Structure formats: C-alpha cells, structure tokens
Amino acid sequence: MQVFRLEALSDNYIFLLYDRTENIAAVVDPAEAEPVFKKLAELKADLVAIFNTHHHHDHVGGNQQLMQKFPGVTVYGGVEDRGRIPGQQVFLEDGSRVQFGDRIAEVIFVPGHTRAHIAYYFPPEIAGETGELFCGDTLFAGGCGRLFEGTPAQMVNSLSKLRSLPDNTRVWCAHEYTLNNLKFALTVDGENSDLQQRFAEVTAYRSRGEATVPSLLGVEKRTNPFLRWEEPALQLATKSHEPVQTFARIRGMKDRF
C-alpha cells in the first residue's frame, strides 16, 4: 500500500492509498475532489473507498463529487457521525476493521475534537516496519485538535490510545500546522532538547516549502506537549499534577497563542 499526500484548500492534506496489485485506491478525508481526480487519473486507478475521520467540511467536502464520478465507492465514517457525513454507508465503532486491498485497518474511536471522531490504523505488515495512522484532527504533528464537541477528559483518553501505538507509526494528520504548533510547544517545554532540534528542522523544511507530514509517533512522544501531560516540565508550566487538568490548561494556552 502506497500513501500519496495531496494538498488541498489552504493547509489541508488528503491522503490517497494505492494498491498497485489491484490498481485500486482509497482516499482519507477528501477536503475537495479535484486533487483526488488528478491523482487517480495519473495512476489510472479506480476509487473504491472514502475513509472519513469526522464530519467537518474540510474533511468531507469532496465526498459527493467523488461519489458521482465513482458510483461504486463505499463511504466510511464513525457511527456517531450518522447524518453528518455526505454519502456515508458504513458506520464504524471502536475496534471495527476496514479492509483496503490486502491491508486491514483498526478503527479507533477518538472523540474530543468532535464527539464522533475516529482514526484508522494500519499495523505494519512485517514486525519492525512502519504502521500508518490516519488521525484527522485528533493528533497533529506537534499539536492536537481544538475541542469543539468533546471534553479534555475525552481527548486525554483518545490521545492515550494513539500514544500507545508503536513509535515507528507514521502519523498522517490532516493539516500543515507543525511549525506554529512547535512555536507554541517551546513556550511550555522550552528546555526540551528534542523539541529544540525538531523546531530547527521544521523551520528549515518550511523555508524550503517542504511538508512536515507524516511525522513519526516516537517523535511526537518526545516533543508534542499534548502527549506529555505527565512530564514535570509541563506540570510546572500549568501548575497542575492532575493529567486531565494539565492537558486542559495546555490546550487553553494554545487556544490563546
């Protein structure tokens, strides 16, 4: 399974999954249809699945056009997004499985950003290789999503699920927010040498117009403050030793950043 990162809107990423053997494709969170049409034409592939993580328009905006062009496509989303995702046909719960080609992904229920948010995790085919996590707006490179419909406690639980995945998991998040996320991270975890090095690297990438997605989950665990609520430096910055409160205060600081 190959993953192609497609740019959309102002800072969105759409992910196109391609199975060369069967010459089929699936798309994760199609913000708009045109970038997907273009890549499918280049690959001469048939679109068989749309995997939505949540209902926001910048993740489902291309659904209807894609369905018109590929009437056999199957549209997936979380069960609690029923009625909110255009064309949704399959309603997924925590622990559900979805198949694309010869790969099977686990569905992880990760409410917080929205009440119905899900993520898709494809474990590595061979031990030690990278897995693939499509996490929408729950976990970002260097950050996490705003809490529009969920609570801090829900988001901590959701991020804990993602944090438990192997370090060599590639994090395919849906926005190019990394540089600004790391600028904020330095305000609450500035003595973190891993974070300092990552900020320098990301600054260089963005100066060259290069994408910072995917990231690696192991890097996120060392540098992303929204996965580090148990770290003394973050507890000191938030004047809290309680995990949910520590997270909530970091999220509030980022909202005002």
Mark the binding-site residues, compressed into ranges: 54, 56, 58-59, 113, 137, 175
Answer yes or no: 55 catalytic.
no
- 214 cis-preceded (ω within 30 degrees of 0): yes
Catalytic residue among 29, 55, 56, 189: 56
Question: d(Cα 198, Cα 143) in Å, to the nearest integer?
Answer: 13
Answer yes or no: 175 catalytic.
yes
Catalytic residue among 29, 55, 81, 113: 113
Catalytic residue among 29, 55, 59, 117: 59
Catalytic residue among 55, 81, 117, 137: 137
Answer yes or no: 59 catalytic.
yes
Taking the CA atoms of 191, 194, 196 and 199 in sequence, report the sign of the dihedral they define: negative
Catalytic residue among 29, 55, 117, 175: 175
Catalytic residue among 58, 81, 117, 189: 58
Q: Which helix (H) or strand (E) holds 26?
A: strand 24-28
Question: d(Cα 51, Cα 126) in Å, to the nearest integer?
Answer: 24
Answer yes or no: 102 catalytic.
no
**Residue 208, number of CB atoms within 10 A of its CB:** 6
Binding site, annotated residues for Zn(2+): 54, 56, 58-59, 113, 137, 175
Question: d(Cα 124, Cα 168) in Å, to the nearest integer?
Answer: 9
**Active-site residues: which are they?**
54, 56, 58-59, 113, 137, 175
